[in-house]
A and B are shown apart, each in its own frame.
Chain A
């Protein structure tokens, strides 16, 4: 019997010829990523070593990445002190894949890993962040873990007692309409599967729409796979993966793409035709409360956010800048733009997109998570409504439990910034 991509990756990483869904394996880890929560990982890591007589040294500093993104620059003394503690640890152990608060090397962890070539096809990637699923876009198995589990990985270099997840095959066909894209696809799919429809499963994406999709779009759909509960999202590596890694991430040396066997066993197959898909909106307060834009158009919004690990990449900024060209952000609405990384910030600066945003009245912020998780930069007032290209709209997510968050693509966000109400970006749409 054949294997799915995740089964092949886990078999190889566990050093066994074959695995099946629900087998228990202990795969070695190729990359272990943390952000500011490395402060807690360090605490747990030291605790594991306590009383053992062993020195608390990570198993392989080259396979650890630490990226500051959630609260940059620090919003208060507690975060700043945690960041200082992490800097000390990283320096002490020679962790080179460290991205501090910088305009050149900084950015959101889920953007830094792909753009720096830290993730490759076939890898097992763990991250102390639920959106670690993003990296499945490069044909690897990437999943979120907690801080204590990360401390265990830092100690042993393997993920302990991992159950091989069953795979759901998602076959996507058709061409998107103008101003409809990967974000609308994944919102639609989450609405269909529900917030728990893929719990403990991997979503493996196939079909001509995926084949034609850029790595940026694939990162968007794998990023949000976790919103259907999935352990991982995965696009089997192909020519586009190789193009991205060589041309954009500067990866040299051999790549080892993993394709599923023709007779791989899938738990089920879900088919999506995107050719008539409308822009999709996730309404408060769950990500699976998804509606076609026609049902929510006209809703007044006070804050527009373009950014995050889901939609803060160059193509998102390009689309938004194109829609805003020659237009203004509506009075009574504020628009915040967060390029996902310093590199993207520079590229958008050179391409003139940032100038376009500022001229239109938007505020361009430093790269990082921004208001996505409600800690700083762009909290909402009571009863205010935000429309954001981020990935979660849980109550209180943007810092105020008395506010509402709607989720959308960058095209919808930009079109809505002009009108101050949720607006269909398609020509003639409303």
Chain B
């Protein structure tokens, strides 16, 4: 992991991450331009390439609540940002796992913009403050998809186990 580049409050909705008015754009190759679009300054930095891959967005509870739009995940993944949140809403979490977005659920995380975070053996270490916070492991059902490299390869493997349909 890297440096915290954005610190967010609780209940950050998918409308905040990827506003509905850009939903006609669906392909993961095209969604990154609208990432946190209405946080104008942050979006401009992203588009200027000023935010290195592996940078961290820290959020409070219930990150990604609201709509099921997968653009909210692909847009963040396109910039290779890492999400460290106190908790994550269900559909967003599942979409993130399905698409291979890096995220860590860390119920007590405390970090400020500019802090350096690192992940080591189930803990998030804030190198700037020197404090450590426990991360919550994914439930086994979700870990299996992560281990397969996402839902597309996971499903592909299951498809090949089925007898071919005529």
Contact = CB atoms under 8 A, between A and B. Distances in A.
Interface of A: 22, 24, 36-37, 39-40, 43-44, 47-49, 51-52, 54-55, 57, 70-71, 75-76, 78-79, 82, 128-130, 132, 144-149, 151-152, 155-156, 160-163, 195-196, 199-200, 229, 231, 286, 288, 373-375, 392, 394-397, 399, 401
Contacts of B26: 37, 39-40, 43, 82, 147
Interface of B: 10-11, 13, 15-16, 19-21, 23-27, 38, 61-62, 65-70, 73, 87, 89-91, 94-95, 98-99, 139-142, 144-145, 150-152, 154-156, 158-160, 162, 164-165
B65 A196 contact: yes
Nearest to A399: B21
Given A199-B62, A229-B62, A392-B15, 9 more contacts: A39-B26, A48-B152, A52-B160, A144-B91, A146-B94, A196-B65, A199-B90, A392-B67, A399-B21
B69 A37 contact: yes
Contacts of B27: 40, 43
Contacts of A395: 13, 15-16, 38
10 contacts: A48-B156, A54-B164, A75-B24, A161-B144, A199-B62, A286-B11, A392-B13, A395-B15, A396-B38, A397-B20
Contacts of A76: 24
Nearest to B93: A200
A301 B160 CA distance: 57
Contact of A396 (B15, B61, B87): B15
B98 to A, nearest CB: 5
Contacts of A148: 70, 95, 98-99, 150-152
Contacts of A75: 24
Given A144-B91, A196-B87, A163 B20 contact: no
Nearest to A196: B62
Nearest to B143: A161
A160 B155 contact: yes
- Main DSSP-derived SS at the A contact region: loop
A144 B69 CA distance: 10
A161 B145 CA distance: 9
Nearest to A147: B70
B139 A163 contact: yes
A396 B53 CA distance: 28
A27 to B, nearest CB: 13
Contact of A161 (B11, B20, B89, B142): B142
Of all A-B residue pairs in the complex, the 8 with the closest CB atoms, nearest first, are A161-B141, A146-B95, A196-B62, A373-B20, A40-B26, A78-B24, A152-B155, A394-B13
